Structure 1
Amino acid sequence: MNAQIELVSARSVLGPEPVPDLACADRIIISNSGGKDSIVAMDEGVRLADEAGVRDRIVVLHIDLGRTPRGHSVEWPGTVDLARRQAAHYGLPFEVRSMTKWPSLVHRIRARGQFPHLMTRFCTSEKRGVARRFMTEQVNALGISGRPARIVHVMGFRGEESRARSRRPAVEVDHRASNGRRTVTHWYPVLRWSTAEVWQRIRDQGLPYHWAYDAGMSRLSCSLCVLASVPDLECAAGLRPELAREYADLEEEMGVPFRRELSMAEVIRRAGGAA
């Protein structure tokens, strides 16, 4: 794994974060990307669910972003299997869902004619839609009548990752996902954790994590994410040159760069490949 700079976390300054009333939750859905923050959020979520005696209400959801037209996985190879092993580490049921309209995120990008960017993160919107459909499945399976089902949705968001995330509360009601049949509460157990604290928990608990971190990646996400740092993009392009080449061909086909200020062809050149 990458060497990390030891930082004082926001939680050490601000104190304990609020926790939803897990004992009152009808279903606890843990979204697991397979990344370091997801597995630590799962570890923390399971710990507190055990304190409330409700581990049996947890289900783990992984959203698979599919395979490109050339057959490459959008996610890092082995991610789905890792997410399954991470759920099995706690004896939790594991479910995989994907987009219904598009075989992969790359197919969605091609249909839209542009890559996602900070102000138009339609990739996130697609994943949110998959998660909400899964919530509907869970509510239907619960069969609760006379009141909305209470869903707690656990995610590994951390405030260090972006200014927008740093302003989030650790627990918040998702009014858009809530309706007459369900109330959805988002919970971010590691929101105020530093990167160093996340890796410390992984080491202390012996939690399974993805090989891409040891290969130089600081984040998992999609292999080639428009929001990734330049060093991560260069690392990913070196590790997955065929996928990078497909993205470069796609940007040429659509006439738009991967990022406004940085083309995938340039990323490939920086990574030492042939653009």
Structure 2
Amino acid sequence: MNRQLHLLSARDLLTAEPVPDLAAADVIVASHSGGKDSMAALDETVRRAEAAGVRDRVVVLHCDLGVTPRGHTVEWPGAVDLARRHADFYGLPFEVRRSARWPSLVHRIRDRGQFPGLFTRYCTSEMKYAVARKFITEQVATLGVTGRPARVVLVLGLRAEESRDRAAKPTVELDRRSSSGRRTITLWYPVLRWSTAEVWDRVRATGLPHHPAYDQGMSRLSCSFCVLASIPDLICAARLRPELADEYTRLEADMGSPFRRELPMSEVIRRAGRAA
């Protein structure tokens, strides 16, 4: 059998959107940013894990992007506390991990001398995925699995609507880069094919609170100033977090590199002021 499908049940192989065979997993790590997609993905994970009789194997992980040199959280304030509250609701263990090398994404940007971009998304690869995989290493070490690789499912709330690259992904795939003789990591994107409306329907069905930034105009909840965010979201973020926007402007000046080539943070701030 193809190794990529080793955690798929026979029944799920017949469906359009495969689901990992969660009963075969030794640990299920659900990444939770505090955003709506993570909320829906976590709820779907819990439902599926409960049906498979392995709810006790789910652990919720928040990868924190840290605090800037001027004392501002890179992520939306309250995101980590909200993720913790959601984990508590389901009775699941909750863990927070950060990069051991950089105190925050802003420190990493300064070290690199430029902001992330479409083809240089080190913000996710180094500050989130690498941190998640290190956490998985910790988990595997405590499992005590012998005679075979530990089976890990990493759940991520990615959705196809957000980019062409994500739209091309399968719902379940083997993380070949991070799998080894000690562990096999299967990536699962349970809400990949869901629409925004379907995500919000599930969020409302949980009865759990969502982050207030959505009610204040944000359509997505990644880091507060994501280089890949829409212009309306960036303008909204600058209006809601002017001090962080100012710190990014100072960072641009120090590095001589703009936030986005066609859109420096100073212009985002100017548009936010005009929209106020």
TM (normalized to structure 1)?
0.93
Look up the equivalent residue of 2:152 and give its one-letter code: I
| Structure 2 residue 146 is the aligned partner of structure 1 residue 145 | yes
Report which stretch shifted further, 202-211 or 70-79. Answer: 202-211
Work out the percentage of aligned pairs sharing the same amino acid: 71
| Structure 2 residue 81 is the aligned partner of structure 1 residue 81 | yes
How far is 1:204 from its partner? 2.0
Q: Quick one: distance in 2 between partners of 1:200 and 1:214?
A: 15
- Structure 2 match to 1:44: 44
| Structure 2 residue 249 is the aligned partner of structure 1 residue 248 | yes
| Structure 2 residue 52 is the aligned partner of structure 1 residue 55 | no
SS in 2 for 1:265: helix
- Structure 2 match to 1:113: 113
- Structure 1 match to 2:99: 99
Q: Quick one: distance in 1 between partners of 2:81 and 2:29?
A: 18
SS in 1 for 2:228: coil
- After superposition, residues 72-221 of structure 1 pair within 5 angstroms as 72-126=72-126, 127-221=128-222
How far is 1:207 from its partner? 2.6
How far is 1:16 from its partner? 4.7
Look up the equivalent residue of 1:29 and give its one-letter code: V
RMSD: 0.9
Look up the equivalent residue of 1:144 and give its one-letter code: V
Q: Quick one: distance in 1 between partners of 2:231 and 2:112?
A: 24
Q: How many residues align?
A: 259
Q: Quick one: distance in 2 between partners of 1:203 and 1:143?
A: 39
SS in 2 for 1:177: coil
SS in 2 for 1:224: coil
- Structure 2 match to 1:9: none
Look up the equivalent residue of 2:104 and give its one-letter code: S
How far is 1:205 from its partner? 2.2
Q: Quick one: distance in 2 between partners of 1:20 and 1:60?
A: 17
SS in 2 for 1:63: strand
Q: Quick one: distance in 2 between partners of 1:107 and 1:95?
A: 23
TM (normalized to structure 2)?
0.93
Structure 2: unaligned runs, 5 residues or longer: 1-14
- Structure 2 match to 1:23: 23
SS in 2 for 1:152: strand
CA displacement, residues 145-177 of structure 1 (integer Å, 9 cap, x when unaligned): 111000000010000000000010000000001
Q: Which runs of 4+ in 1 moved over 4 A?
A: none
SS in 1 for 2:273: coil
How far is 1:17 from its partner? 1.3
Look up the equivalent residue of 2:147 and give its one-letter code: G
Q: Quick one: distance in 2 between partners of 1:189 and 1:175?
A: 19
How far is 1:239 from its partner? 0.1
SS in 1 for 2:59: strand
- Structure 1 match to 2:228: 227
Look up the equivalent residue of 1:57 and give its one-letter code: R
Report which stretch shifted further, 118-127 or 230-239. Answer: 118-127
- Structure 2 match to 1:266: 267
SS in 2 for 1:262: coil
- Structure 2 match to 1:236: 237
Q: Quick one: distance in 1 between partners of 2:177 and 2:202?
A: 33
- Structure 1 match to 2:11: none
SS in 2 for 1:138: helix
- Structure 1 match to 2:7: none
Report which stretch shifted further, 242-251 or 16-25. Answer: 16-25
Q: Quick one: distance in 2 between partners of 1:129 and 1:160?
A: 24
